[in-house]
Structure 1
Amino acid sequence: MKLFSRILNTLLAIGILCTLIAAIGSAITKEPVLLTVIRSNSMSPVWERGDMVIIENLKEKEAVQNGDIVFFKTEEGSLADKGWIAHRVVDRNVDKGFITKGDANEYTDQRDGSGLIERDWIAGRALTIGETPIVIPKIGYLSLWAEKYQSNPYTLPVIAIVLAIIIAIGELKSGRKRKKTNKGMELQLIYIVGGLTISVIMGATMLASGQRANLFYEVSSQGQGVLMGSAVGILKVGDEVTRPLSELSNGGFFKLIGAVTSDDKQIKLSHTKLSLSPGQETDITFTVNAERPGKYESSIQIGLFYPFLPPSFIYFLAQKSYWLALAVVSLVPGLPLMIYPLFDRKMRRRTIKVLRRKRRTLRGILPF
């Protein structure tokens, strides 16, 4: 029974870890990573709504074959507003694109004139054993349920707080029943993993609410012009152009701290640091001052952070690096749980004893 419990706990931990990696990876890359939840029955009976599928992310020039179940997101046509779609490739033209179809659908995706699926739109394909995709049945329903509340930025933090309460209650109960026998570092690991879980959830929430805009434009000494795909185009030296960037809103119950940064000194931002009260909305714009001729590929990062640290310090970190600010702010709520074993005298002594015992064991194994 103990062995079964350990196996079950290990599988549960691996599942949670993979889900967190997939969520964070998807938030960073803006495409499915490692795992994805199925939201429709268009591929039944291969998989159904609520199932979770393991993804093989494809390299830029990796070939796609007939029969592959691919994950793609179109940039034009009637499928452009459907988000990420997982359908099977039923025909292909290496130069022009792919024809796709859901196994449960009567017609191909291209029947309504939406156009062929370009290779650049395909992020990955279903990982298979033989010809059978690896599917984890129905485990994705929790994610689908959570999506109903994802517009509220406090959903995941509330889940994190609930996890912390569960850990605390478990510790109180086990403290009453705990025998004097040494349990090693199990309890310390519970605190550390619990704190890390809270920090990861907080970080994933803030990461999902952040935005990154990639901006390319050209400054010319000759004159203005249109640059395909650019929000600014070709500017003449001395020109000044202002464009809308984003509309930030706070749909939660607590204040959020915003930090807007850019790596381009020719770009001026209407807001660099701001506080969003509950229900408040703010329009962010940027202005390009064309000073130096050349072609530019710039980025503008918008970060929304929970007020765990002073706003000025959060902005200071964001100026150095958005990822640095995200990591530091995320660690704050989980840090007390992670370092608590250092301040509890019994756990600290137990940890020292275990480390000494491990060191003696290691010395006995090593040949020197």
Structure 2
Amino acid sequence: MTPRRFLTISAEVAVALIVASLLLGQVLGTPVLLGYVETGSMEPTLEPGDGFVAIPDAVAGDVEEGDVIVFRAEELQGGGLTTHRVVGETERGYVTQGDANPFTDQDGDEPPVKEGQIVAKALQIGGSVVVIPNLGTVVTGLQSSFGAIQQRLAVLTGSRALLGTQGIAYVLLGLSALLYLYDLVVGGGKLRDRERDRDRDQGISPELVVALLAAVLVASATAAMVVPAGTQQFGVVSAEFASENPTVIQQGESSTIPYTVPNAGLIPVVAYLEPGSEGVAVSPERVRVAGRGEATVDMTLSAPDETGYYRRFVTEHRYLAVLPGDMIDALYETHPWLPIVVIDAGLAGGVALLGLLVMGGRRVRVRKRESRHDRSTWHRLLRYLTR
């Protein structure tokens, strides 16, 4: 592989990872690898539109004073994700503050931040946040442009299906079809000097094909374990009187309600449920859910002695049941992300072994009668990358 090709592929992979992480973050509603700020509350550390490397809470370790965290606020700017610095800790949770703010969030209406609200921690080296200048500016600009395109297409076609996340898929599919038609018209043509390419040195490396298949499988398996999991929020009203509403609880008392763990996939999953805040308990904390099935556990919510509205959190982790149950338990007790790593590694290794056995090291070639002068754009690009 030439240095030019190595640098080109490396740049393309980096861009693909950045785009994939940003898109996945938009779908999941939480930063994945990368995040950005939209306001100036973290100046001068993070200017409006600056990005940062977001480490998921599950692998970020313990939160300490001085860490910059991304958490699901309850009151700040109407709730939602907020990026602020931890400046203290109390029995009720963490005290947070924007670097540019003269007072803490808890001096206002925001309650102390609990562990279950934290979704990521900004990467810091030597005590300084790793900043990606203007990343958010670029992302929001692209989102605005793409949103305008979606709205224009929706008006022209009279269909609301082109709006939102589902509309993005339709638009991308349409662009792909247009590019394909353009390639047929411009890159195609009458076939001249027909010849059959029998050069066995040409073609796609079997290792590359296997790696792509393994990557697709690993991505799908990871999404099946990560997307349905996460932290769930429940509102509890501590009242002076009892109520038929299970979330309106007499002060100092508790209420038990069912918590459903669905599995929309065909492969069974093992789910672990743990309290993400005080005032909540789950029993049992481990359930196995069959494919296309669901399981129900008991969740007990407790009301404080003081009346008011309180939020309770339950954190759910789930894993494909492709390993023995005892092994998943041991891995989970070590770290909640360790079962995902082992499962993904096993799936990728199985695909790699099967693929190499089936293909036997032979390069994947597309045999087609065509002119070397009139090959389509796609074929010329393919031959350039695989020669």
TM-score after normalising by structure 1: 0.47
TM-score by structure 2 length?
Answer: 0.45
